[in-house]
Structure 1
Amino acid sequence: MDRQRCGYWPSDLAPELNYKRGLKPLHEYLRDNARQNPEKAAIIWYGREISYGELNDLSDRFATALSDLGVRKGEPVVLFLSNSPQYFIAHYGIQKIGAAVCPCSPLFKEWELEYQLNDLGAKVIVASDSLYPIIAEVKPKTKLEHIVLTNYGDFLPPAPGIKVPEEILGSKQLIQGTYDMLSLMNAVEGPFLGQEVELEDIALIIYTSGTTGKPKGAMLSYKSALFKAAAVAQSSSVLEKDVLLTVVPLYHIAGMLLGLNCPIYANATVVLLQRFDPVAVLEGIANYRCTWWYSIVPMNLSVMQVPNAGEYDLSSLETTRATSFGIALTPEIGKQWTEFTKGCSLFEGAYGLSETHTADTFMPAGAVKWGTQGIANYETRIRILDTETGREKEPGEMGEIVISSPGVFKGYWQKPLETEQTLREGWVYTGDMGRLDKDHYLIFDGRFKEMIKVSGYSVFPEEVESMLIRHQGIAQAAVLGVSDGQKGEVVKAFVVLKPDPDPSITAENLIAWAREKMAHYKVPRYIEFRESLPVTGAGKILRRLLKEESS
């Protein structure tokens, strides 16, 4: 339902979306910020301040360096990085020459990275030097030509003001046959000439399951990124005065929106952490007077459980929005957080997906409805449809969530048939089940699609299955998600062994093998051996039947 038909719209919010500096790509907002407030801190990285002027200059330099390596407009450039200043620099540097940012999870192992690199046909990767062994393993099987490495310590201050993770304190590695990111930027001379881009050009290719199948690259435009940054900043009050704590991974669409794009749009400051640590969160809020934090519910609980947490001054914190991954956000947890912070509210952030650049809804601060995901954001329409007839459901009736907004994707990278299934006349068919109540608050009820959510990470059954059957003893494998009190869902695998199986193959051994071959959140928690798996006449595995048998 569109905003004008919502039963509630906050009186303190403008009725229409207004762009702060007009319709232009977010890297031009960064450039404007650098001109108007060159000394203002854009990023605080464990105490090291990187000003807007410096961030703009570094991303200009990196853009030039990429151009010199032969990167052209429209080409994919892969980011294989955790949260860091280098992520900001690379993200906007890539987009300044009209290339497409293509994030890869730094939790990937060889097979996962190889799949995404080959699907993109990528020639350039920007990565942490600690991840180089994985890149070296897959490079001969890909089209990679240039490897740009960086060390998270390059921007650390001599005396950090926040607890620094041990793993990013290691010495810098200079590896033959690769480029050092800092050296590339330092070698650039002369003014940045730039590349003219259109708002409809592709700025981001982020991998997602869509409704079914292996991961697919959702193509999002400069307009999508700008629209969502503007809509979230306006509906959720991300302001120029704000200091935002960024902990959620930037390679995830929600982290990218709220931790990278929104602050740049708003000309705010980011206190950036490489990964979640409850003590570092407390230190970051207290030391740098953070006002805004987007979190995941288990993070909030971990922070409140720090033994001496009450000694930290959290009075600056004005806004906390969270997502219920693994643990549902309840009124009791919200009240506990408000008491813990001495006044900061905590409630559900938003509903969204990669194909829409997320945050299709928001929760009005003055009219919170627990158990819902809020109301449609600016210029966003949400419908609930019957999956068989296409009829629009009445309030309270469950059906498929279908979304339209200026933020929707342009299709899946080189997958036209899958695009047609999900994107129809400007509407994204999410594959999610939900309802709209009488005031048009969205209630998310679950997924039609087979994607599994483990602690907020998307796990695609086909991908895990394709890796499992590479084990020399496995003939067939089927994967589905099962409920878990801590992680929301975990992976369960059904395995058929090859004839005359090795007696040493046990569930424990297979799980240990999987830990070496795939990101930790994809590793099966449970393995069940079967003589056969239910399949269609065409040989497709019927996961639905397995789920019914397991329930």
Structure 2
Amino acid sequence: MNTRHFPFWPAGQSRHLTVPQTSLFYNIEVSATRYPDKPCILFYDTPITYAGFRDEAERIAGYLQKTCNVQRGDRVLLFMQNSPQFVLAYYGILRADAVVVPVNPMNRIDELRHYVGDTGARVAIVAQDLLQHIAPLQGQGLEHLLVATYSDYLKQPTDLQVPDFVAAPREVPAAPGITAWNDMLAGGLRPGPMLAGPDDLCVMPYTSGTTGHPKGCMHTHGNVMFSLVASMQWFNANQDAVSLSVLPFFHVTGMQGSMNGPLYYGSTIVILPRWDRDAAAQSIQRYRVTSAQVISTMAVDLLSNPRLGEFDLSSLRGIRGGGAAMPEAVARKMQVELGITYTEGYGMSETIAATHINPVMRPKLQCLGIPIYDVDARVVDPHSLQEAANGEVGEIVVHAPHVMKGYWNNPQATEESFIEIEGKRFLRTGDLAKIDEDGYFFMVDRLKRMINASGFKVWPAEVEAMLYQHPAIREACIIAARDAKRGETVKAVVVLQEAQRGKVSEQDIIDWARQHMAAYKVPRIVQFVDAIPKSPSGKLQWRELQEREQRMEQKGDDHAVQ
């Protein structure tokens, strides 16, 4: 077990974490008892108190049990954007002793059919604007659709810019098996005694499904509790914190750091359904937000806002995130512009968020951090599975209390994802990293995302990080392009800062790169685009660009990613 990071452990923090042996819903019981009149949620100036939240979550649970016949351990789909209803439905499902299956709101009917079939879910709680994508599955496993209208929770006047899909009036069709959210609450049904405990399944996020169908990660209440308590304690959270909750709740990073964690402490979350840099800055100023969780693309957009200086962001005590390394140049700009250090972490759906976080008082840039409480993380050769020597690149493997129990309905995938080392069960992450002399982990890339240029191994994430230092570059993604001489060569797909468009050429970027990185890493091809595709959680979709490039190469066209 790596212990080199112990000298840099956060002051005052124990290395072991004692976790409550209760269900996740009990956190709401505690917070509602302690702070009944305090805002649990702020949504475009409309508050929901903790007492009100508990009451509505219990009514949702009552409806699920008594009308939809949801039983202990049943899976319920949750299909909507960040909203008060997402959070209420999440906890209502848990109060009904059922399992939350959060679904990416960008999914469409064929993808949803897999979720329904794989989970055996009979009930889905869905947003009004997404109903058309899941309604055709009624009668194909789904029996009940509970439909939420975001505007039902716009109860106070606001001058914040409300997106059209949030402001849309209620239009829930009157049809068998379809129930409007307000009608569900109006029934006033109450659930039976809560039976689920720390060993019961709690939530089942699905992996992105880059190969084959997505797989459900089975997490118990105990798994989820460990993860959220660890994250909040690491950052010294308290009940008076105010969090900007803009990362998607269906994704484990936003789910834990921006939803479950703050509610455990009884603090307040300010919900934005989608990223909007002006609305984010307004919310920070208006609600005196103390912490925000964003990914690198959001940070780039926030700092690129020409209106940034108009907002008072002095309440912010920290910005943290993960998912993709924060470019060093952007992190330094954040320090200069806002006086805030960006703190990165690392985790995955299989670990229900972070296994590594940087120490707050001693973070390193573009670094995954150090293993948190009770986590044994190692770097091994991905082929021999022998532990890699210090400084060598290998695959991260993790043994931790919050590692999933396995993949739902997929024992083969479960078996392939775990190895045993010294009698411990370790999860293979598929992520390549190296450990420095202080025991900090640094991502090199995803396993197999590597460019072989004339025998030189080029790790795209490293080149991307260097390109972000160019003042004209807003976003960059590195992919492999075919090269008759080198086999593969480095291609950069670049979005320029708006003010630099037409002033900087592709050759200018190449010439700059030659001055700042080893020759074999320099992009031989640069292509300017208006936007780079992103996942709903904000990650750059390098695979999509790579696949497009390969398709065009097969047709005989050169470098046709558009």
TM-score category of the 2 structures, normalised to the smaller one: 0.7 to 0.9
Output the CA distance in 1 between the equivalents of 2:323 and 2:207: 19
Q: In terms of mean alpha carbon deviation, does 131-140 or 363-372 score higher? A: 131-140
Q: CA deviation at 1:195?
A: 2.3
The question of 1:402 aligning with 2:397 is answered yes
Query: What amino acid sits opposite 1:295 in the alignment?
Result: V
The question of 1:415 aligning with 2:410 is answered yes
- Give the aligned partner of residue 95 of structure 1: 94
- Give the aligned partner of residue 105 of structure 2: 106
- Give the aligned partner of residue 469 of structure 2: none
Query: What amino acid sits opposite 1:6 in the alignment?
Result: F
Q: CA deviation at 1:7?
A: 4.4
Output the CA distance in 2 between the equivalents of 1:203 and 1:77: 11
Query: Contact 1:362–1:374 at 8 Å: present in 2 too?
Result: yes
Query: What amino acid sits opposite 1:258 in the alignment?
Result: G
- Give the aligned partner of residue 385 of structure 1: 380
Query: Contact 1:77–1:126 at 8 Å: present in 2 too?
Result: yes
Give the match's secondary structure for 1:32: helix
1:33-85 CA-partner distances (Å, limit 9, x unpaired): 10111011111011111111111111111011100110111111001110001
- Give the aligned partner of residue 286 of structure 1: 285
- Alpha carbons of structure 1 residues 432 and 75: separation in structure 2 relative to 1, 3 Å: same
Q: CA deviation at 1:450?
A: 7.6
Q: CA deviation at 1:529?
A: 5.1
Query: What amino acid sits opposite 1:154 in the alignment?
Result: D
- Alpha carbons of structure 1 residues 439 and 73: separation in structure 2 relative to 1, 3 Å: same
Identity of aligned residues (%): 30
Q: CA deviation at 1:387?
A: 2.2
Query: What amino acid sits opposite 2:341 in the alignment?
Result: S
Query: Contact 1:201–1:222 at 8 Å: present in 2 too?
Result: yes
The question of 1:344 aligning with 2:343 is answered no
Q: CA deviation at 1:311?
A: 1.6
- Give the aligned partner of residue 435 of structure 2: 436
Output the CA distance in 1 between the equivalents of 2:221 and 2:384: 35
Q: CA deviation at 1:397?
A: 1.3
By relative contact order (CA 8 Å, sep 6+), the higher-ranking structure is 1
- Give the aligned partner of residue 170 of structure 1: 168
1:462-488 CA-partner distances (Å, limit 9, x unpaired): xxxxxxxxxxxxxxxxxxx9974469x
Output the CA distance in 2 between the equivalents of 1:486 and 1:427: 39
Q: Which runs of 5+ in 2 are unaligned?
A: 451-460, 462-489, 497-539, 556-560
Query: What TM-score does the superposition give when structure 2 sets the normalisation length?
Result: 0.78
1:330-380 CA-partner distances (Å, limit 9, x unpaired): 343223223322x22223x21111111121001112212223211001111
Query: Contact 1:96–1:195 at 8 Å: present in 2 too?
Result: yes
Query: Contact 2:240–2:267 at 8 Å: present in 1 too?
Result: yes
Q: CA deviation at 1:16?
A: 3.3
Query: What amino acid sits opposite 1:44 in the alignment?
Result: L
- Give the aligned partner of residue 529 of structure 2: none
Output the CA distance in 1 between the equivalents of 2:2 and 2:375: 6
Output the CA distance in 2 between the equivalents of 1:212 and 1:344: 38
Output the CA distance in 2 between the equivalents of 1:135 and 1:211: 22
**Among candidates 329, 333, 337, match of residue 332 of structure 1:** 329
Output the CA distance in 2 between the equivalents of 1:296 and 1:367: 20
Output the CA distance in 2 between the equivalents of 1:333 and 1:376: 24
- Give the aligned partner of residue 374 of structure 1: 369
Q: CA deviation at 1:437?
A: 1.5
The question of 1:222 aligning with 2:244 is answered no
Query: What amino acid sits opposite 1:443 in the alignment?
Result: F
State how 1:239-318 maps to structure 2 within 5 Å. 239-318=238-317
* Count, aligned residues: 467
CA RMSD of aligned residues (A): 2.8
Q: CA deviation at 1:136?
A: 2.4
Output the CA distance in 1 between the equivalents of 2:323 and 2:59: 39
Give the match's secondary structure for 2:379: strand
- Alpha carbons of structure 1 residues 211 and 412: separation in structure 2 relative to 1, 3 Å: farther
Output the CA distance in 2 between the equivalents of 1:483 and 1:530: 16
1:288-326 CA-partner distances (Å, limit 9, x unpaired): 00000000122122222333221211110001013364x
- Give the aligned partner of residue 232 of structure 1: 231
Q: CA deviation at 1:201?
A: 1.0
1:418-439 CA-partner distances (Å, limit 9, x unpaired): 1111134531111111111122
Output the CA distance in 2 between the equivalents of 1:483 and 1:175: 48
- Give the aligned partner of residue 16 of structure 2: 16
Q: CA deviation at 1:4?
A: 8.2
Q: CA deviation at 1:92?
A: 0.8
Output the CA distance in 1 between the equivalents of 2:129 and 2:382: 46
Output the CA distance in 2 between the equivalents of 1:486 and 1:165: 25
Query: What amino acid sits opposite 1:127 in the alignment?
Result: V
Query: Contact 1:210–1:422 at 8 Å: present in 2 too?
Result: no
Q: CA deviation at 1:404?
A: 0.9
Q: Which runs of 5+ in 1 are unaligned?
A: 456-480, 488-519, 534-549
Query: Contact 2:3–2:439 at 8 Å: present in 1 too?
Result: no
1:511-539 CA-partner distances (Å, limit 9, x unpaired): xxxxxxxxx97977726558999xxxxxx
- Give the aligned partner of residue 124 of structure 2: 125
Give the match's secondary structure for 1:360: strand
Query: What amino acid sits opposite 2:384 in the alignment?
Result: T
Q: CA deviation at 1:14?
A: 3.4
The question of 1:526 aligning with 2:526 is answered no
- Alpha carbons of structure 1 residues 172 and 483: separation in structure 2 relative to 1, 3 Å: farther
The question of 1:357 aligning with 2:356 is answered no
Query: What TM-score does the superposition give when structure 1 sets the normalisation length?
Result: 0.79
Output the CA distance in 2 between the equivalents of 1:450 and 1:74: 38
- Alpha carbons of structure 1 residues 246 and 209: separation in structure 2 relative to 1, 3 Å: closer
Query: Contact 1:40–1:52 at 8 Å: present in 2 too?
Result: yes
- Give the aligned partner of residue 73 of structure 1: 72
State how 1:426-465 maps to structure 2 within 5 Å. 426-448=425-447
